[in-house]
Amino acid sequence: MSVKVEETVDNQPLDLKQKCINCFRGPNTLRTVVTLICVAVVVQQITICSLKLHNRPITTYTHFDFNQTITYPSVTFCREPPYKHDKLSDYGLYAHPRLTSTWRNFNFSGISLDELWEEITYDADDFFVQYGLDTQRDNVKLTPVMGFITGRCYTVSPKVLDIKVSTTLKNGYSITLQHFASDLEDPISILPPGYHVHVHYLREPFTEVEVYNGGLVDYLYVNTGEKVDVKLKVDEYIMISEVQDPCSNEDNYSANMCTTQHVTDVVAESVGCSGPWMQSDLPYCNNFEDMRNLISSYVSTYQNHEYESCPRFCRSYLYNAYVTDRQKHYTWDPQNFELTNNVDRSNLQTQIYIHFNNMMVSVYEERFNYDWNLFLSDLGGSIGFLLGLSVIGLIDIIGNLWIDLIRPSVVKRKKDTSVPAFQTNVATITNNEELKIDQWRR
């Protein structure tokens, strides 16, 4: 009678600790180590891709556009000397108003500062003999710009924004400026009589205040009595607004005006009054002490304020002005003044032609160099390469090599080293047993 003995099998599930221990036993050790390394690399790659997606790198692309229509720049003219010397003398101001000592005997109670500035600065008739764009005066808008160092300037801007581009003189700006004989005979400035010419973007009005986020201004100085031919080259900048470096797309925004207003507010609030060249709600200064403090504070601040909080434009233009021809009618020496020709009206006029050099526009465009498509591509590539079937298959191959080849060869080598001693003992025992059997039989 046979009794069947049933073996008891322990079906209790292994806990997490035991499973982890089993992962590092035998051939599973190599598999587990390789898998952990792959997972760590994948996590690192995903982290890098996520950071790139959060803070996307920016690349600047440069290309050229051929435009048949383009917007002409604004051109601001500031006169040199900026103030009327004879009118300054009439009001007891013998030099440029920036010299605070000239205000000591000024009659603040009897003379309005608005009236003073209207009298001592030049109006449009004192600036221009004629002006036009594409041979038409109606194509130009004239805007006065009041400053302190530069006095009253005038900006000519195109009324029609997109006009057909042409590289001839007659299709651009044609402007005739003038001076008077008194400006040359008794100058009150270091520079020879002439005009400061500022070529700038239409949406950025001229200001004498230093603008750190602007800078899209080209400048040249023209002496009176000269004929100057200026050609324009256009660079377009398309920028991306970021938290660290924002830019603005607002229609009525200007970084120049934003910075100018900040400087005005800081200077006026520090003194408690303002001047006629400022846009401020504070009243004008009405005594010598306040005016001296206001002028001193403004002169020391308008170019050294270091204010950079006004964002730039996201899309702007830089007009590069190149003087291709310049002709002079006379020479001027501040120490020994002389005219080579007779002083007549034509010799005191300055002719400026401003037009485009060609129809090509250099475009500098910022673009994000990383997006969701590249993120998914990098993510799929990392996971597919490191944790895909090829890697798992490689692990299986290594495991099979260990089980089928490496481990058996190691075990066999151990057995081979122990067989001779074992066989000798067996042979000795066998011989002894046979000897005993033979003796018993006898």
Whether the CA torsion 421, 427, 431, 437 is positive or negative: it is positive
Q: Is 100's pLDDT higher than 60?
A: yes
How much helix, strand and coil, in percent to the nearest 5, is found in the chain?
Answer: 40, 25, 35
Q: 62-235+320-368 in CATH: which number?
A: 2.60.470
Residue 98 has what pLDDT? 92
> How deeply is 37 buried, as exposed, middle or buried, from its count of CB atoms within 10 A (0-12, 13-18, 19+)?
exposed
Domain ranges within the chain, ordered by starting residue: 62-235+320-368
Evaluate whether 178 touches 348 at the Cβ level (below 8 Å). Answer: yes
Structure tokens at 215: 């800078």
pLDDT per residue as tens digits for the range 37-92: 777 777 777 787 777 777 777 788 888 888 777 788 999 999 999 999 889 988 98
Confidence of residue 153 (pLDDT cuts 50, 70, 90): very high
Q: Taking the complete model, does pTM exceed 0.85, yes or no?
A: no
Evaluate whether 128 touches 153 at the Cβ level (below 8 Å). Answer: no
Q: What is the mean pLDDT of residues 309-332?
A: 83
Instruction: Please provide the size of the chain in residues.
Output: 442
pLDDT per residue as tens digits for the range 237-296: 888 888 788 888 888 888 999 999 999 999 999 999 999 999 999 999 999 999 999 999
Q: What is the mean pLDDT of residues 399-414?
A: 70
Distance CA 172, CA 25 (A): 86
